Amino acid sequence: MSNDKETRQFEAEVSQILKLMVHSMYSNQEVFLRELISNASDAIDKLRFEALSDEELFEGQTDLKIEVEVDKEAATVTIRDTGIGMSRQEVTDNIGTIARSGTRQFLENLTGDQKKDSRLIGQFGVGFYSAFIVSDKVVLTTRRAGEKEAVRWESDGEGEYSLEVIEKEARGTEIVLYLREECSEFLEAMRLERVIRRYSDHISFPIFLIEESTETDEETPEEDGEESGQDIRQVNQASALWTRKSWDIEDEEYQSFYKHVARAFDEPLHWIHNQVEGRLKFTLLLYLPTAPPFDFQMPDQERAGGVKLYVKRVFVLDDAEMFLPRYLRFIRGVVDSDDLPLNVSRELLQDNRVVATIRSTATKKVLKMLQEISKDEEKYQTFWSSFGPILKEGIVEEPSKKEEVAALLRFASTAEAEAKQTVSLDAYKERMKEGQEAIYYVTADTYAAAVASPHLEIFKAQGVEVLVLTDAIDEWVVSHLREFDETPLRSVDRGALDLDSLGNCDEEQEPESESPKVDEEWKEVVEAVKSSLGDAVKEVRMSKRLTDSPSCLVREEWEMGSRMRRILTRAGEEVPDGTPTLELNPTHPLVVRLKSIEADELTEWAQLFLDQASLSEGADLEAPAVFVRRLNDLMGRLALEKVGEEETAGI
């Protein structure tokens, strides 16, 4: 162990953040206090947790508190905690040295808008640096509970910091901020008190504000803050918010607690607070965020889900994901149980009866909350656009909740003018036509592609609404959903579609007798097209779907749709064989033409119809150039014929 003071350079990205703190956060300076108090509170939580298995860590000092001390003379504000502290290694790892994963993302997400950017600070785990918003020098001294060696870290935020081993009696961390001249407002105790009340009232440890009284002019030598000229008062309630009765809690208190537990900077969209006292005793305070955190969609990152677990008011675990199903992983908040052992481990929680009960209650409550919010369309849209695709997973993940989750789903639809997902299955059912037996949907990469699909032609003609599914997981979801409220869901491109049973079908057509006639009339063409396409299609048949396009591809009811195939193929997954059926539009002139042309030309048209149908499904052609050449050949042929006709007609 060397006591040598060493000086090191900040990594470039850290320097960049520091500069930013100093120069562009002046409109929201007070956040520094919230961040440092939040860190202090986390540190005490950690101590209390680690002490569960090693009581020695308390070092005989169980006084858990946070102090904010202001010294006008020295122009400093000091934030002190009796938490876990940091070892030398931890200081280098955590404090302004190594660019942590959040650092780069923070920089990438900056908008230049001060208000928005200041909100990013806490979210990206760069809260400590906010000390430099108001300070031109920061001195941090810390001793990890149970260790002898203490560390002093100092920096002016200009690119360098120093580290040195020192002695420190008290366990925990002390941060001295040497305030910039223009930040002297924070030397006013009243100002600090207001900020603490505003942002940190929910902190469950007492926060004391200590003010050096200025009227003392005796020359008493300073003795470890024990001098008489101090005014000390507690400024927060220091009771865990969720233990209080909901009718005693203001919305603002709930909101600021949300920001603390979720490390979030948005407002919660909604929350539920339940104190359950039955066979088991537990409290749920669960929040629905407005917006997903920046790293929400990233694979295996720490904040991918979960709530904070407390056992009898003692913090035990962050990101406890076992209290809610995966499809509700956007929920944040606290679970506090009286029935779990304090020394519970993540492994122990995985297969635990108490956890299972709490989880089932929490799931029920959250689904009920969503149902409640769905009555407010605008609010629900906010939720849906943030977390809709995640909620959808519930259809697959929890079959027993299928109907409930399905009722919460929203889809884009051909009945709406825009691509927004606003239509519920209930609303769709209410608008179904007389005689309509299924809820129809189309899947495509985009809304525009979907509504232009040839498969929709007959639906448009018949005025039948079709749900438009464009999210990557949609097909997977509907394949598990299968039906809603006893009405089957059916893709527009599956099976031998027949909408004739609908009440609005033309009177003069007799559906029963028509089919055989059509079949007879087209028998030769169908056979010729099939034999020229060979194994590329399963079957060729005349379509009842198409009114404009010459052709489309359809699959069997149980088969995987084209979009799902594409997604899986691109992801390098194996896709089950699913040769499509080609349907031809008997009313299209180019199809009618097939009846009267030579076999070799028919082969070309057949291939063109197949390629076109694939293209309109959004598929990639194996040889686009061949398609283009064929198209041009056939058009050339038509053009020549036209000239020929005109010449014979003597034009």
Asked if 39 interacts with ligand ADP (CB under 6 A), we say yes
- Give the one entry of Mg ion, ligand ADP, none that residue 584 binds, where binding means its C-beta sits below a cut-off of 5 to 8 angstroms depending on kind: none
Residue 35 as a binder of ligand ADP (CB under 6 A): the answer is yes
Identify what 580 binds: ligand ADP, Mg ion, none; CB under 5 to 8 Å per kind. none
The yes or no reply on residue 127 touching ligand ADP (CB under 6 A) is yes
Q: If binding means CB under 5 A, how many residues of this protein chain bind Mg ion?
A: 2
Q: CB 161 → Mg ion: shortest distance, Å?
A: 18
What is the smallest separation between the CB atom of 39 and Mg ion, expressed in angstroms?
A: 4
Of 39-47, 218-226, 324-332, 619-627, which segment contacts ligand ADP by CB under 6 A?
A: 39-47
Under a CB-based contact definition with an 8 Å cutoff, are residues 31 and 118 in contact?
A: yes
According to DSSP, residue 547 is labeled S
* Contacts within 8 Å (CB) and 24+ apart, 343-348: 343/52, 343/53, 344/311, 344/316, 344/317, 346/317, 346/320
Q: Does 40 bind ligand ADP (CB under 6 A)?
A: yes
Name which of ligand ADP, Mg ion, none residue 40 binds, using a CB cut-off of 5 to 8 Å depending on partner kind: ligand ADP
What does the H/E/C string look like for 486-502? Answer: CEEEEECCECCCCCCCC
Among 34, 82, 125, 273, binds ligand ADP (CB under 6 A): 125
Instruction: Give all strands (DSSP E) within 242-396, no chain letters.
Output: 268-277, 281-289, 307-311, 314-320, 332-337
From Mg ion, ligand ADP, none, which one binds at residue 492 (CB under 5 to 8 Å depending on kind)? Answer: none
DSSP characters over 5-40: -EEEEPPHHHHHHHHHHHHH-GGGTTHHHHHHHHHH
Q: Is 363 in the site for Mg ion (CB under 5 A)?
A: no
Nearest CA-CA partner of 330 in 397, 284, 391? 391
> Please, which residue, 40 or 367, has the CB nearer to ligand ADP?
40
- Rounded CA-CA distance 318/331 in Å is 13
Residue number with CB closer to ligand ADP (79 or 370):
79
- Pick from 85, 96, 102, 127 the residue near Mg ion by CB under 5 A: 127
Q: Tell me which of 57, 95, 209, 311 binds ligand ADP, using CB under 6 A.
A: 95
> Half-sphere exposure (CA, 13 Å, Cβ side) for 473?
15
Rule CB under 6 A: say whether 157 interacts with ligand ADP: no
Backbone angles phi, psi at 154, to 5 degrees: -140, 140
Q: How far is the CB of 334 from ligand ADP (least distance, A)?
A: 17
Say if CB 205 and CB 65 are below 8 A apart. Answer: yes
Q: Which is nearer to ligand ADP, 30 or 474 (CB)?
A: 30
Minimum CB separation of residue 47 from Mg ion in Å reads 16
Separation between Cα atoms, residue 314 and residue 280, nearest integer Å: 17
**Binding to Mg ion in span 73-92, by CB under 5 A:** none
**How far apart are the C-alpha atoms of 508 and 510, rounded to whole Å?**
6
Q: At residue 422, what are phi and psi to the nearest 5 degrees?
A: -130, -10
Which token pair is 240? 């865990």
Contact status: 126 vs ligand ADP (CB under 6 A):
yes
| Number of residues lying near ligand ADP (CB under 6 A) | 16
The residue (of 79 and 608) whose beta carbon lies closer to Mg ion is 79
- Which are the contacts of 146, defined by CB distance < 8 A and separation ≥ 6? 54, 56, 57, 59
Rule CB under 5 A: say whether 200 interacts with Mg ion: no
Binding site for Mg ion (CB under 5 A): 39, 127
